[in-house]
Structure 1
Amino acid sequence: MDTRRLLRTGGVALATAALLLSGCSGSDDPDPGRSSGAAEPSSRLSDDRETRDATPLEALPEEIPANLEPYYEQKLTWKDCGVPGFQCSRLRVPLDYDAPDRSKDLRLAVTRKKASGPGERLGSLHVNPGGPGGSAVDYVQLAAGVGYPAPVRARYDIVGMDPRGVARSEPIECLSDKEMDAYTRTDVTPDDQGEIEKLTAAFERFAKGCKERAGELLGHVSTVEAARDMDVLRAVLGDDRLTYVGASYGTYLGATYAGLFPSRVGRFVLDGAMDPSLSSEQLNRDQTAGFDTAFTAFAEDCVGRDDCPLGSKSPKEAERRLGDFLERLDTRPLKTGEPRELTESLATVGVLNAMYTEYYWPKLRSALTSAMKDGDGAELLSLADDYYERDADGSYGNIMYANASVNCLDLPAPFDGPAEAKRAVAEFRKHSPVFGRNFAWSALNCTYWQQEPTGEPHRIEAKGAAPILVVGTTRDPATPYKWAEGLAGQLSSATLLTYDGDGHTAYVRGSDCVDSAVNGYLIRGTVPKDGTTCS
């Protein structure tokens, strides 16, 4: 139901998808990773008022405080994880960095696959797939550790750590599986006061469940704290600087690390970037427009095919037909072959899930055909379950719980109450006639959070950091391209690499141009010319 800032890559599907040949523009040099040394300062600094007014993130002192030295000096015990080629361990970190208490320490799950050679080992490459709430351990073991380009895996230990509150690292839980089933069916496009009250009651139950089950941890899962955990892991692994690939929300985590520890930044790749200077309301509006752009790209592809269930005339016709279909589901859910019906909210999430990668477009055409022509909602329900990480046995992963917990702690809620959300619907619908109402009302979730936010919008400049490569995709639904421009404009040492294409994130998704640029940076330390565009 809640799609707010759930920024994630497609996991294994993206890592194992067939490679598509792509080209570069913006340079006569066939090797996009040709520049060396520090990148020239970016000229893209946004003139947006929110960005100008946002407070810069201040770096932490370089010297490690005495009360944190035991964490930085710990030794990890590595064990076989049961996945061939991978080792696992646990990192001890303080619940509260401002008041460390060993009795309250957290133990975070870490995995690695050691460099395979040939070639000199370059250190550890830390990977985060996004979310917030995505499991870096799963991503490394199932995707990056086997799907990253062989030259990168040859030279680096590929490392993933589940952030605090996520998956294997003290996971936050909020609802039972049955309660979560009910939550995902909640109507997120209320038509009257009664439906508004049901929606707000669902948000309240969710927030109360998180507070009751997570307790003190709920106040300590911020991105700043997760970034500090990464610095502890960097030191424990013996690296002077952190080398990092962050996708989606992982770019926000990585940029935060760079802002806090600029002198410890190694080779940083931030793919599918977020703009930390924006308010929660602006992020939601931008993401609404991003998914509308992605749907238009899907619709343009669909209407030219014989099997398109949304018509054959134009993307506007496809938009209208999808909107009419979702509206019908509001009062007449579809059967799915199991007790759960396909509601409007679940169908919308299924469609949005397919926007993350064009590899899902054929699946979405099939799912919409089954639903719209045959009255069978099973395939769309399956797409929604995939988004929510609901297994066939009815159990849920914790991604939705961690996602809300981090988001609601990092930024103040966009709306004070239902009246503000209702007023915002018209503006959101300008950005997306189909998805606008859903996004506007979904943004109300943090309004009922039972933990005060600790963060606020801020600029990240990371002055003194080594070159940072920011990657943006022009039709990215979840992290609109303008966010990549915004982040690259703030970071003092950023280079922007553009992928003119569809889907969420760009590295290891089929573009030889993007992969060559990123690989060249990670292996040789060279950065592509600022403004290079791949297609």
Structure 2
Amino acid sequence: MALVVTAGFAPLDEQDHARSFYGQHVDWRPCLSPEELAEAEPVEGDPDWRARLECGTVTVPVDHGDPGGATIETAVVRHPAQGPADQYRGSLVFNFGGPGRAGVARFESGPLALSRRVRDSFDLVSFDPRGVGESAGFTCPAWDAMERPLEEVAAADAVDHDLLRDLERAARRFRWSCEEEVGTDFLANMGTVNVVRDLDLIRDALGDERLSYVGFSYGTYIGALYAEMFPENTRALVLDGALQTQRGVIADGVEQGQGAQTAWESFVSYCLDRAPECPFTGAEEAPSEAEALLTGLDAEPVVVRGHSVGRPEMLALLRDSLKTERQWESVARLLARLGPGERDPFVQAYLGSHVTRRDDSGATESAFTAVQCADHTRPGDVHAFQEGARRAAKVSPFFGGDEVWSFLPCASWPDTELAPGDLSALLAPPILVVGTRHDPATPYVWAEELADQLATATLFTYEGGGHTAYTGGRPCVDGVVDAYLLDGVVPADGASCPGEL
């Protein structure tokens, strides 16, 4: 039986009560103390970036329909505009995707790859969405409960009754641990519809009449929904790496698998044609040759910093690495040196950086699952997920059905307010959707669909690979997006930039 969700937005009278949260002002302060700045690792490009960062909070209700109830202090971060006053255009708010990515930590990690004119004209702003980072972030104690059953699924020829039972038990254990950690009410209000309401409070607290915004990946859904809910408060929205808005959690997993497979095949072509080192002898041979490498890791995992990197970890690394086109040369070199007896220091260094990046996996996985389950329609029958995983494995032979199975905790998730997926944003100003042709995480077709959905949207295409395109060091892409953000210049319908590789 499917879970019941409440469709639509909060009634107008409840929204009126929530007006009490408008009119705030952020009390900005330095993000890092002089001692922290002295101890921080230097960053390339702008050594004074961290010293300029300012942090603060905006108070938001946990339940926007109950503004008299519990509240959250939402963490915000700002890098002040560097240009003269006559260039100033207000704030430019960034969301870096996920769900589960913290904007404050991203700013503190180093400067954004933006043009001088953008940095001169805007206060660059980001925030930690509810349940993430410093905005009441949490980690479900059993966040990794699905890992072992998913490894068993990957190794099995078929999912039998016992394995299906183990998957369902692990999914329920994950969900129960989340409820024990933060409570059912908090989980029920983790959805993007509430993140968007928070974002409008942030816009108001920043002193901007209208929002200028760049959303990557999941951040595109935040932006699209903002245009639907608050069109009168919208100035410019860049939606890069579009998320789909109209399908359930299983279809989402199947199509993400298809996108990953397309990106993998593009990587194989690059590896064979242009990579200095490549382990494959041909496109037809690549699947079996890659499988042999994974089988070798099953037999002899690579141990890095006390962590064992076997088949599951390598598949996760490959899927993640496909998101950044400029990593493809290094990935090809890694695979070429993974054979027994060929694991040189480069292999250790590359895998070591991956292990380091996984240190915050618990918090990221918890927020990711909570938002995905809150946002999507989801069946309550485990067999529906089993069928979805079969479909995913068919369209993505290399990566299989893990993406679908990972959403199994959603089958028993608490009831949530489900935002409408059929967005049109009829009253919004021009919106720019950016799609990457061989995106492994958000398939290009999703960018096409979102641009068709939103009445005022224009689709701009990067004809290469990787996940998202803006701020990736691509002058062609950055120039088009900058012109839109700064001067409202929308590219011609069908405009594109060539791929780099």
Is residue 502 from structure 1 mapped to residue 458 from structure 2 by the alignment?
A: no
Q: Which residue of 2 aligns with 1:483?
A: 446
Match of residue 74, structure 1, among 24, 46, 57? 24
Asked whether the 8 Å contact 1:495–1:527 carries over to 2, the reply is yes
Deviations 1:403-449 (A, max 9, x none): 001001111236720x3333334422331111123334334342243
Asked whether the 8 Å contact 1:265–1:465 carries over to 2, the reply is yes
Deviations 1:106-127 (A, max 9, x none): 0010010111103421011111
Asked whether the 8 Å contact 2:113–2:473 carries over to 1, the reply is no
Question: Following the alignment from structure 2 to structure 1, what is the Cα–Cα distance between the partners of residues 317 and 488?
Answer: 40
Match of residue 153, structure 1, among 119, 127, 139? 119
Q: Which residue of 1 aligns with 2:249?
A: 280
Deviation at 1:305, TM superposition (A): 5.6
Deviations 1:149-190 (A, max 9, x none): 11011011111111000111100211279x679669843425
Asked whether the 8 Å contact 1:60–1:261 carries over to 2, the reply is no
Q: Which residue of 2 aligns with 1:399?
A: 364
Deviation at 1:225, TM superposition (A): 0.2
Q: Which residue of 1 aligns with 2:39?
A: none
Match of residue 373, structure 1, among 335, 340, 343? 340
Alpha-carbon distance change, 472 to 182 in structure 1, aligned in 2, over 3 angstroms: closer
Deviation at 1:381, TM superposition (A): 5.0
Is residue 438 from structure 1 mapped to residue 402 from structure 2 by the alignment?
A: yes
Q: Which residue of 2 aligns with 1:45?
A: none
Alpha-carbon distance change, 199 to 184 in structure 1, aligned in 2, over 3 angstroms: closer
Alpha-carbon distance change, 117 to 484 in structure 1, aligned in 2, over 3 angstroms: same
Question: Following the alignment from structure 2 to structure 1, what is the Cα–Cα distance between the partners of residues 234 and 374?
Answer: 25
Question: Following the alignment from structure 2 to structure 1, what is the Cα–Cα distance between the partners of residues 178 and 52?
Answer: 36
Q: Residue 246 of structure 1 aligns to which amino acid in structure 2?
A: G
Alpha-carbon distance change, 56 to 423 in structure 1, aligned in 2, over 3 angstroms: closer
Q: Residue 213 of structure 1 aligns to which amino acid in structure 2?
A: E
Deviation at 1:240, TM superposition (A): 1.0
Alpha-carbon distance change, 156 to 305 in structure 1, aligned in 2, over 3 angstroms: closer
Deviation at 1:333, TM superposition (A): 5.3
Q: Which residue of 2 aligns with 1:512?
A: 475
Deviation at 1:96, TM superposition (A): 0.5
Q: Identify which range, 317-326 or 237-246, moves more after superposition.
A: 317-326
Q: Which residue of 2 aligns with 1:99?
A: 66
Q: Identify which range, 183-192 or 431-440, moves more after superposition.
A: 183-192
SS, match of residue 84 in structure 1:
helix
Deviations 1:28-50 (A, max 9, x none): xxxxxxxxxxxxxxxxxxxxxxx
1:127-526 aligned at under 5 Å gives the runs 127-143=94-110, 145-175=111-141, 186-189=151-154, 191=156, 192-193=159-160, 194-215=162-183, 216-304=185-273, 308-314=277-283, 316-327=284-295, 329=297, 332=299, 334-374=301-341, 378=348, 381-382=351-352, 385=355, 389-391=357-359, 396=361, 398-413=363-378, 416-417=381-382, 419-449=383-413, 451-455=414-418, 458-526=421-489
Match of residue 112, structure 1, among 78, 88, 92? 78
When normalised by structure 1's length, the TM-score is 0.80
SS, match of residue 361 in structure 1:
helix
Alpha-carbon distance change, 57 to 317 in structure 1, aligned in 2, over 3 angstroms: farther
Asked whether the 8 Å contact 1:278–1:457 carries over to 2, the reply is no
Alpha-carbon distance change, 188 to 134 in structure 1, aligned in 2, over 3 angstroms: farther
User: Gaps spanning 5+ residues in structure 2: where?
Assistant: 1-5, 33-49
SS, match of residue 303 in structure 2:
coil
Deviation at 1:457, TM superposition (A): 5.8
SS, match of residue 309 in structure 2:
coil
Question: Following the alignment from structure 1 to structure 2, what is the Cα–Cα distance between the partners of residues 131 and 344?
Answer: 24
SS, match of residue 463 in structure 2:
strand
Asked whether the 8 Å contact 2:305–2:352 carries over to 1, the reply is no
Question: Following the alignment from structure 1 to structure 2, what is the Cα–Cα distance between the partners of residues 499 and 355?
Answer: 15
Match of residue 88, structure 1, among 25, 32, 55? 55
Alpha-carbon distance change, 139 to 306 in structure 1, aligned in 2, over 3 angstroms: closer
Asked whether the 8 Å contact 1:56–1:459 carries over to 2, the reply is no
Alpha-carbon distance change, 121 to 111 in structure 1, aligned in 2, over 3 angstroms: same
Asked whether the 8 Å contact 1:371–1:380 carries over to 2, the reply is no
Question: Following the alignment from structure 1 to structure 2, what is the Cα–Cα distance between the partners of residues 324 and 291?
Answer: 20
Question: Following the alignment from structure 2 to structure 1, what is the Cα–Cα distance between the partners of residues 429 and 94?
Answer: 18
Asked whether the 8 Å contact 2:432–2:459 carries over to 1, the reply is yes
Q: Residue 402 of structure 1 aligns to which amino acid in structure 2?
A: A
Q: Identify which range, 523-532 or 134-143, moves more after superposition.
A: 134-143
SS, match of residue 172 in structure 1:
coil
Question: Following the alignment from structure 1 to structure 2, what is the Cα–Cα distance between the partners of residues 456 and 225?
Answer: 9
Aligned-residue identity in percent: 34
Alpha-carbon distance change, 276 to 383 in structure 1, aligned in 2, over 3 angstroms: farther
SS, match of residue 109 in structure 1:
strand
Question: Following the alignment from structure 1 to structure 2, what is the Cα–Cα distance between the partners of residues 107 and 299?
Answer: 46
Q: Which has the higher contact order (CA 8 A, sep 6+)?
A: 1
Asked whether the 8 Å contact 2:112–2:471 carries over to 1, the reply is no
Question: Following the alignment from structure 2 to structure 1, what is the Cα–Cα distance between the partners of residues 428 and 11?
Answer: 13
Deviation at 1:262, TM superposition (A): 1.1
Alpha-carbon distance change, 279 to 304 in structure 1, aligned in 2, over 3 angstroms: same
When normalised by structure 2's length, the TM-score is 0.86
SS, match of residue 374 in structure 1:
coil
Deviations 1:229-251 (A, max 9, x none): 01001111111111101011000
Q: Residue 89 of structure 2 aligns to which amino acid in structure 1?
A: L
Alpha-carbon distance change, 498 to 202 in structure 1, aligned in 2, over 3 angstroms: same
Q: Residue 366 of structure 2 aligns to which amino acid in structure 1?
A: Y
User: Gaps spanning 5+ residues in structure 1: where?
Assistant: 1-54
Alpha-carbon distance change, 411 to 182 in structure 1, aligned in 2, over 3 angstroms: closer
Q: Which residue of 1 aligns with 2:495?
A: 532
Deviation at 1:309, TM superposition (A): 5.0
Deviation at 1:455, TM superposition (A): 1.7
Question: Following the alignment from structure 1 to structure 2, what is the Cα–Cα distance between the partners of residues 251 and 291?
Answer: 19
Question: Following the alignment from structure 1 to structure 2, what is the Cα–Cα distance between the partners of residues 324 and 156?
Answer: 51
User: What is the RMSD of the two structures over their aligned residues, measured on CA atoms?
Assistant: 2.8
Asked whether the 8 Å contact 1:92–1:106 carries over to 2, the reply is yes
Q: Residue 134 of structure 1 aligns to which amino acid in structure 2?
A: R
Asked whether the 8 Å contact 2:8–2:419 carries over to 1, the reply is no
Question: Following the alignment from structure 1 to structure 2, what is the Cα–Cα distance between the partners of residues 323 and 365?
Answer: 15
Question: Following the alignment from structure 1 to structure 2, what is the Cα–Cα distance between the partners of residues 66 and 440?
Answer: 39
Question: Following the alignment from structure 2 to structure 1, what is the Cα–Cα distance between the partners of residues 460 and 400?
Answer: 29
